[in-house]
Amino acid sequence: MKTRVGFGFDVHRLVEGRELWLGGIRIDHTMGLLGHSDADVLIHALCDALLGAANLRDIGYHFPDTAGEYAGIDSKILLRKTVELIQGKGYTLGNADITVCAERPKLNPHIPAMQQTLADCMGIDPDDISIKATTTERLGFTGREEGISAYAVVLLEKA
């Protein structure tokens, strides 16, 4: 069996007047993330990790923010398409480990729903997706609540 590891990172600015989508679920908050799509940093980092592990470039290559068809798109659609791309190369997800950095809102209560949503979207067991939330102790752009970032590591397997 061949295994490959991929790493993904994404960041989006927090702004007023947008919904906050993380891990495929809407979270009540006073601000949302700015982006061409729904700006779900968690899913975008996961997509980049999956694509990188399969040597399929990055999310911007496959789903450019200059393409009108992706304006406002639900990132779960991008994740499903990403899974199809890696499956097309014969890979399946072994596991994913994701960290989201945000001062607010508190994300821990939402993690089980995120895991289930992502698992349903990817056709895998929720136990194969680890999601952790942390702050930056009020340091940097995240600490000043200017944005949210996410990091993802995945293991792909090929029979």
113: amino acid identity, one letter: A
Q: Annotated binding residue at 62?
A: no
Q: Annotated binding residue at 10?
A: yes
Q: Annotated binding residue at 141?
A: yes
Q: From first to last of its 159 residues, what are the pLDDT tens digits of the chain?
A: 899 999 999 999 999 999 999 999 999 999 999 999 999 999 999 999 999 999 999 999 999 989 889 999 999 999 999 999 999 999 999 999 999 999 999 999 999 999 999 999 999 999 999 999 999 999 999 999 999 999 999 999 997
Q: Which tokens belong to 51?
A: 């694509």
Our count of domains for the chain comes to 1
Q: Annotated binding residue at 110?
A: no
Q: Annotated binding residue at 44?
A: yes
Q: Annotated binding residue at 135?
A: yes
Q: Annotated binding residue at 11?
A: yes
β-sheet bridge partners, residue 110? none
Distance CA 58, CA 71 (A): 18
Of 64, 62, 45, nearest in space to 7 by CA: 45
Distance CA 88, CA 78 (A): 15
List the domain range (segments joined by +) for residue 48: 2-158
Angle at 109 between CA 25 and CA 74, to 5 degrees: 10
Q: Which tokens belong to 119?
A: 């698992």
pLDDT in the model for residue 159 = 75
The DSSP output letter for 135 is -
Distance CA 134, CA 127 (A): 20
Q: Annotated binding residue at 60?
A: yes
- CATH number of domain containing 88: 3.30.1330.50
Q: Annotated binding residue at 38?
A: no
Of 51, 45, 28, 56, nearest in space to 113 by CA: 28
